[in-house]
A and B are shown apart, each in its own frame.
Chain A
Amino acid sequence: MAVLGTSIRRREDPALITGKGRYTDDFSSPTMLHAAIVRSPYAHARLGAIDTSAAAAAPGVVGVFTAKDVEAAGLPGMVPVGWLLPDLKVVAHPILAIDTVRHVGDGVAVVVAEDRYQARDAAELVDVEYEPFDAVTDPAGATAEGAPLVHADAPSNVAFDFELGDSESTEAGFASATQVTEIELRNQRLIPHAIEPRATIADYDSSTGKLTVRMTTQNPHVHRLLMVLASLGLPEHKIRVIAPEVGGGFGSKIHHYADEAIVAMCSMQLGRPVKWIATRGETNLTDAHGRDHVTKAAIALDADHKIVGLRVDTYATMGAYLSTFAPSVPTFLYATLMSGQYDIPAIHCHVVGTFTHTTPVDAYRGAGRPEATFVVERLMEEAAKEAGLDPTELRRKNFVQPDQFPYQTQVALEYDSGNYEPALDRALEMVGYDDFRSQQSARRAGGGKQLGIGFSTYIEACGLAPSAVAGSLGAQAGLWESAEVRVNPTGTVTVYTGSSAHGQGHHTTFSQIVAEKLGIDVDAVEVIHGDTDAVQFGMGTYGSRSAAVGGSAIWLSVDKIIEKGRRIAAHLLEAAVEDVEFADGQFGVKGAPDKSLGLADVSLQAYLAHNYPADLEPGLVATTFYDPANFTYPFGAHIAIVEVDTETGEVELVRYVACDDVGNVINPMIVDGQLHGGLAQGIGQALWEGAVYDDSGQLLTGSLMDYAMPRAHRLVNFELDRTTTPCPHNPLGVKGVGEAGAIASPPAVVNAVVDALSPYGIRNIDMPLTPEKVWRAIAAANGEGSE
């Protein structure tokens, strides 16, 4: 029975929906202490004396620590950056601030008490002297002359200056063009908001010298490695990082934060387990934020409306420090996507990364690719309008054609496969495009609420990463994934994967892969992840990589199992190895239908081995470290229809149609679920979400009363379909879907609103498209007399 490609129910859900799932905060012990971190209320200040005496004397308090104690304990005490760029300005990021605080929420002290209320109460008693300074929060404004410096050793607040593509050929393209369309875009800052806040329990056992850290992590081995190298300095084998159930991450739980190191230090100092659970307010101030770009971009067309050049200039802020993967996001994961689905002969992308007095920015669902897709798809829409073409027509004219694959872009990537028009055709059919345009005309004639349609024919590069490409762009790190498959003596299977799940459904999809290949029941497969003492080194879950990279590693390990099984079966059946075939869970001998053994027969004999030939090892275990040959390139066509109330500026999403191509599908229900979540986040960015700082660096949207998350009642039933162009270079033919919705949807929604308002001559409104911004754009257009 085929199990790959079927919507079996998620095996992890019975525990989660009956409250049996155990998250970090669900672990307690009688000796456990609780930490509260004292955080800077200023965005930029000199740190004076810290008086901890009142806090230390408060009820239940067992310890108060500052940067001085970190130094005294002899810890390295730094938060590292894990991704380098050529000429990256690497700045110091102490786990507790030394001399200067650089964003609201920067940690200055930690209070540890018998319970979490006592810890919070005492944290308010820590008396910190601050001398506040001016702050800078704007990604581009940070480089202005006279802007306050975030780090004395980073002149002009520049973290890096990155270029990709060819400026000369791009300028030549623009010089030859008959139409140049320019646009200025703000891709606003977002706050991730996983439902479970970040959390850490550190338990140091001085008798063994071993530190156990239970924490919300998407990548426990990477966390362990970074703690060893930069923050704690303990030997790697003496740290065990465990990810219990993790309630979502969207990137924010990839990064190594100061907090887990602070909590570990407390446990090492006090010899007792210490728990820290971020409050929602702390989450908003300290979880790495996403996006925050200021961009000028232009596209050049020739007389046949073929694109002859694309130019992008972006300021992307890193925030106050360099978070773990931050430098890769607006460079490696952004500039490389500027060709979109289009055959563009010349591209140049220039990105300046800047420091600002804000929460650090790092990978957030899509990470760089939503920003790139937003630039490309907004440009396509505006260029089509300027050319007087239907937006779908300009896209069709410029799509990379099926016979052009593999297609080498001008920005480092080689697209392995693709077939873009069928997805667009299908989406147009689903939405009833011709009909829509006549409804739209009728509305325009009648006044009142206006209809708009917006397109996004997106591509993404996921399945991070071919390590060679990462290396060629200066990463100094690869991004393979590991899988160990152990067939137990009775024929059940335990999979150890480096892809540590936090909501994706790996227990289900990974089991489907193994069950399909070995011809066993899904329930005969157990998936183990998220424990550095149990699982071999792995890279973790992000970048839509788990199926394509982690799943492929499992596939290849199962291949090795079958290979080994054939040798054992050949021995047991007294046949030649080359005559043993494996199908439907049976090892059989060619031409001898009565001679066959089940997987369980073979696995039992693998462990009872007592008469093996010298060249056959006992056991039935295989490990693979899989480094993909290329990225995978999911693509699709997304269409949003919106209604705009021109009296108030309110935007209502009316329909959302998408035809995606994510390659082969392991579990359609899980794929649809991933798309739904991604779409909610992307539509949320377009219409509601946005972190806002005031000029002094205070976060004005620091709570869920101010920061508008997407809500179910504001969304629509998503209308989804798929085309299938398998990935040619991984064994499963899968591409990845975790980020597609968040990447594709913001430009679709913004294009739809701009389309609705095109009679007013409105060309752009910055996200989020709040009613007031839309209303002001209409008012300004009316004031100019364009209608």
Chain B
Amino acid sequence: MYPANFDYHRAGSVAEALDLLGQNEDAKLIAGGHSLLPMMKLRLAQPSQLIDIGGLSDLKGISAGEGSIRIGALTTHAEIAASAELAEGCAIVAEAAAEIGDPQVRNRGTIGGNLSHADPASDLPGVVLALGGTIEIVGKGGGRSVAAADFFVDLLTTALGEDEILAAVTVPTLGAGTGSAYLKFEHPASGYAVVGAAAIVTMSGGSCESASLCFNGVTATPLSADAVGGALAGGSADDAAIDAAVDSNLSVDDPLSDVFASGDYRAHIAGVYAKRALREARGRARS
């Protein structure tokens, strides 16, 4: 548990952090350190330089706008879990953040670090994907936005360039007719998601206007089960409809597999948790 040698710089501004990042292709950004440091201690990651962006207050905080909520990259999981804005406008993000690790991890870990690390078993990627969230990125040439659907490229790989910084995440404000739920089947050792089902259901006059369902933990990138949502739209979204929509439309290709849970089993749990999460989300929708 002793990392290899590295240099450390504490960035005073986003511009300085981008400068430093541009000067050393071997550098890594660090904020809460809860994804990077464990890998460094195991010497799976050996960056020559750490650029600490943890003190950059412009990247911190939650602000509710018109129809959306912006979460700064350096906002901790604990802050997200306790956020009144999110509890009111997009509760599933807070619900998922509360499932991450333990209080110490949530006090240090940040949403920006979590998303840019893109661990398939962490709790936020699938939620941001289910919400159709947007990732704000800054680089030396300015800023750009990437839809969550385009952000998660592969296992531990995102659309973030090597010289870019994830600045914020924007998620939609959910109306009263929309219910959401995040249901997690956690690994008993790591606490990461073996399956994390994120369900969002919008009801209107007793019928389902739209539904979306995504998973953490099941495949190398967050899995979006669009067909399930599509099958539910326009129907009653009652228990039988949810069961039928999941049974007929959920397919999991190349599920992850480990000593604790095989691919087949993960796919099975995805189905069970999908149904439970969709029911819960529907129950929370006040239509």
Contact = CB atoms under 8 A, between A and B. Distances in A.
Contacts of A703: 42
Contact of B189 (A124, A647, A706, A771): A706
B239 to A, nearest CB: 13
A280 interface: yes
B264 to A, nearest CB: 9
Given A279-B2, A280-B1, A706-B189, A648 B260 contact: no
B67 to A, nearest CB: 37
Contacts, number: 59
A772 B262 contact: yes
Contacts of B5: 117, 121
Given A700-B259, A701-B259, A770-B260, A708 B189 contact: yes
Given A648-B273, A706-B260, A708-B260, 5 more contacts: A281-B42, A650-B185, A692-B259, A704-B190, A770-B261
A701 B268 CA distance: 24
Nearest to A116: B2
B260 A281 contact: no
A120 B2 CA distance: 7
Given A705-B190, A706-B190, A648 B1 contact: no
Contact of A117 (B2, B262, B273): B2
Contacts of B4: 121
A709 B188 CA distance: 8
14 contacts: A117-B2, A117-B5, A281-B1, A648-B269, A688-B189, A692-B259, A705-B189, A705-B190, A708-B187, A770-B261, A771-B261, A771-B265, A772-B261, A772-B262
B189 A704 contact: yes
B156 interface: no
A647 B275 CA distance: 12
Interface string B179-196: 000000101111010000
A775 interface: yes
A595 interface: no
Contacts of A771: 185, 261, 265, 269
A443 interface: no
Contacts of A437: none
A703 B38 CA distance: 11
Contacts of A124: 43
B87 interface: no
A237 interface: no
A718 interface: no
Contacts of B260: 706, 708, 770, 772
Interface in A89-129: 116-117, 120-121, 124
Interface in A227-285: 279-281
Contacts of A708: 187-189, 260
Contacts of B190: 704-706
B272 interface: yes
A121 B3 CA distance: 9
Among B2, B4, B185, B269, residue most surrounded by chain A Cβ atoms (within 10 Å): B2
Q: Which 5 A-B pairs have the closest CB atoms?
A: A708-B188, A708-B189, A705-B190, A120-B2, A772-B265
Contacts of A772: 260-262, 265
Interface of A: 116-117, 120-121, 124, 279-281, 647-648, 650, 687-688, 692, 700-701, 703-709, 711, 714, 770-772, 775-776
Contacts of B269: 648, 771
Interface in B175-216: 185, 187-190, 192
Contacts of B42: 281, 703
A279 B42 CA distance: 10
A687 B192 CA distance: 18
Interface residues of B, number: 22
Nearest to B4: A121
A124 B4 CA distance: 10
A714 B1 contact: no
Contacts of A648: 185, 268-269, 272-273
B268 A775 contact: yes
A621 B4 CA distance: 55
Nearest to B275: A647
Contacts of A711: 188
A677 B43 CA distance: 33
Q: Say whether chain A's binding surface is mostly helix, strand, loop, or mixed.
A: loop
A687 B269 CA distance: 18
Nearest to B265: A772
B188 A647 contact: no
A236 to B, nearest CB: 35
A279 B265 contact: no
A124 B46 CA distance: 13
Nearest to A692: B259
A648 B187 CA distance: 14
A474 B268 CA distance: 53
Nearest to A123: B2
A88 to B, nearest CB: 33
A61 to B, nearest CB: 14
Given A117-B5, A120-B2, A647 B259 contact: no
A772 B267 CA distance: 11
Interface string B40-52: 0011000000000
Contacts of A647: 272
Nearest to A773: B265
Interface in B155-183: none
Contacts of A714: 188
Given A281-B42, A705-B189, A709-B189, A775 B265 contact: yes
Contacts of A705: 189-190, 192
B272 A706 contact: no
B156 to A, nearest CB: 15
B64 to A, nearest CB: 32
Contacts of B187: 708
A67 B123 CA distance: 48
B241 to A, nearest CB: 18
A580 B162 CA distance: 88
Nearest to B276: A647
Contacts of B259: 692, 700-701, 706
Contacts of A709: 189
Contacts of A687: 188
Contacts of B261: 770-772
A700 B42 CA distance: 15
A122 to B, nearest CB: 12
A358 to B, nearest CB: 16
Contacts of B2: 116-117, 120, 279
A776 B190 CA distance: 23
A650 B188 CA distance: 11
Contacts of A117: 2, 5
Residue from A648, A687, A688 with most neighbouring chain B CB atoms (10 Å): A648
B116 to A, nearest CB: 20
A560 B2 CA distance: 53
Interface string B245-287: 0000000000000111110010011001100000000000000
Nearest to B38: A705
B193 to A, nearest CB: 13
A707 B189 contact: yes
A247 to B, nearest CB: 16
A704 B176 CA distance: 42
A769 to B, nearest CB: 11
Nearest to A770: B260
Considering residues B185, B258, B272, which has the most beta carbons from chain A within 10 angstroms of its beta carbon?
Answer: B272
A345 B189 CA distance: 44
A687 B1 CA distance: 28
A468 B2 CA distance: 48
A116 B187 CA distance: 33
Contacts of A281: 1, 42
Contacts of B192: 705
**Most chain-A CB neighbours within 10 Å: which of B188, B190, B262, B272?**
B188
A688 B1 CA distance: 24
Contacts of A700: 259
A775 B273 CA distance: 14
A116, A281, A771 — most chain B CB neighbours (10 Å) = A771
